[in-house]
Chains A and B, each alone.
Chain A
Amino acid sequence: MSKKLTTLTDEELIKEFQDFNTLEAYEILVKRYKDPLTNFVYRFVGDKDVCTDIVQDTMIKFYLNKDSYKSFAKFSTWIYTIAGNLAKNELKRRKRRTILSLHNDDEEKSLQIEDKSFIMPDRATDNQIKSGMIQKALLKVKEVYREVVILRDIQNLSYEEIAEITGLSIGTVKSRINRGRTQLQKLLSNIYKE
């Protein structure tokens, strides 16, 4: 049975989980999507701990609201939508905290990014330094552009999938990706001209 489940597509697995409440099917889907979602959320939010919490919450939501998934949609777009919405909520909450906070926590923010344990070991290498700079630049890009650029250029999703995840038209997605890239070009002009 287990072997059989692993060969199923995402949509078949969730159908199994919806119909028979098969926890194994759920676990397989979690295994398949935990890393892509972590990558996506981390690039979007820029904080490892928060990103892990978001992905955990995404999986819990998926578990609790499995029946809200409709079979005509792709499972990947559905789970990315949940993760994206939770990530946006987290960014909104951060903004509120920044506005309400009496002290300026800019230094704290920069320290958070520098302290990433998963970057630290190989940080000395050129590529790692570059990717750290790119991540910082990415976080400076406007939220609406950042999301689509990550989905397209990092997660390698199609325009159609991105349109479905974000609820935008394909044209809007394309123009936002272009604008996001332009903003990144300005921010990263020193890197990619080297």
Chain B
Amino acid sequence: MAIMLQDDNNRENNEIKRLLGGMPKIEAPENFEYNLMVKINNGSFDLKTEKPRFSFVYQRLVPASAAVFTIFVLFFIYGLDESSVDTMLVVDPAVEDDAVASMHDSVAFREVAATFGTKSEKNSNEVTPEKSSTFVSPDGKLEKSSSFAIDNSKSVDLDSYIRGDKRLGERRPNNLSVVSGGEAGRTNRFNGFLYRQNDKDLDTLKARIDSIKKNMTTEKTK
């Protein structure tokens, strides 16, 4: 079978050879030599079929550089903003205005400002402390309390009070000042425990202090 196929193949190959060999021979034109010798004698050796020397430059480099140039131009027309390109890695990340505004309004911001007393925030000392605050209720909703937990007019620094200082609330209209445990003029982030003002307690406290003072004076006189 294989031999038969090979024979067929050889036969077909021979047929092709016969067909190709039987083709008429093409001859050069009669004036071929004359034209050639004229060219040689005139020294005109411009080869018609010679590849042009700029072929590579023209075919490859020019289109490529044109494409690069176009991309370059389009990039600057429709591309990224110039400022963002230059300073992308230098500038601070952009913060939305609302976020900044809410940050400035927040109690925490005022606390920090009052604590560290930055130059810009010294002017904001005039800001009155908020009398209300927002808190998360146990059921997860945001609620606004009617009054802030610490009220300057109703709060005292017990130590200062005992030492006879003025009420801090009058001197420093800041919620931090009403927190006990801190010394006058010294501002710590954590100033101790809050003392919630209670008129009855205050009266009893005053009464106790008065009685202590009385006892002391009576003992001295004795």
Point out residues on A near B: beta carbons under 8 Å: 27, 30-31, 34-35, 37-39, 42-43, 48, 50-57, 59-61, 63-64, 86, 89-90, 93, 96, 118, 127-128, 130-131, 134-135, 138, 149-150, 153-154, 156, 178, 181, 184-185, 188, 191-192
Q: How far is the CA of A35 from the CA of B28 in the complex (A)?
A: 5
B88 CB to nearest A CB, Å: 42
Q: How far is the CA of A60 from the CA of B45 in the complex (A)?
A: 7
Contacts of B16 in A (CB 8 A): 153, 181, 184-185, 188, 192
Beyond the given A35-B28, A96-B59, please list 8 additional residue pairs across the A-B interface where CB-CB is below 8 A.
A30-B33, A43-B26, A56-B39, A64-B45, A127-B24, A134-B20, A153-B20, A156-B21
B112 within 8 A of A: no
The 3 tightest CB contacts between A and B, nearest first, are: A153-B20, A34-B28, A38-B28
Q: Which of B20, B23, B29, B50 contacts A52 (CB 8 A)?
A: B29
B54 within 8 A of A: no
Q: Provided the pairs A39-B26, A89-B49, A185-B16 are in contact, do residues A56 and B36 lie with their beta carbons within 8 angstroms?
A: yes
Point out residues on B near A: beta carbons under 8 Å: 12-13, 15-17, 19-29, 32-33, 35-37, 39-40, 45, 47-51, 59
Q: How far is the CA of A72 from the CA of B40 in the complex (A)?
A: 27
The residue in chain A whose Cβ has the minimal distance to the Cβ of B44 is A60
Contact A154 B20 (CB under 8 A): yes
Q: How far is the CA of A93 from the CA of B48 in the complex (A)?
A: 12
List, sorted by A's number, 27 A–B pairs whose CB atoms are closer than 8 Å.
A30-B36, A34-B28, A38-B26, A38-B32, A39-B27, A50-B49, A52-B28, A55-B28, A56-B32, A56-B35, A56-B36, A60-B39, A60-B47, A86-B47, A86-B50, A89-B49, A130-B19, A134-B23, A150-B20, A153-B16, A153-B17, A153-B20, A156-B21, A181-B12, A185-B16, A192-B12, A192-B15
Contact B27 A53 (CB under 8 A): no
A159 CB to nearest B CB, Å: 14
Q: How far is the CA of A64 from the CA of B47 in the complex (A)?
A: 11
Contact A60 B36 (CB under 8 A): yes
A188 CB to nearest B CB, Å: 7
Contacts of A178 in B (CB 8 A): 13
Contacts of A55 in B (CB 8 A): 28, 32
Contacts of B48 in A (CB 8 A): 53, 56-57
Contact B22 A89 (CB under 8 A): no
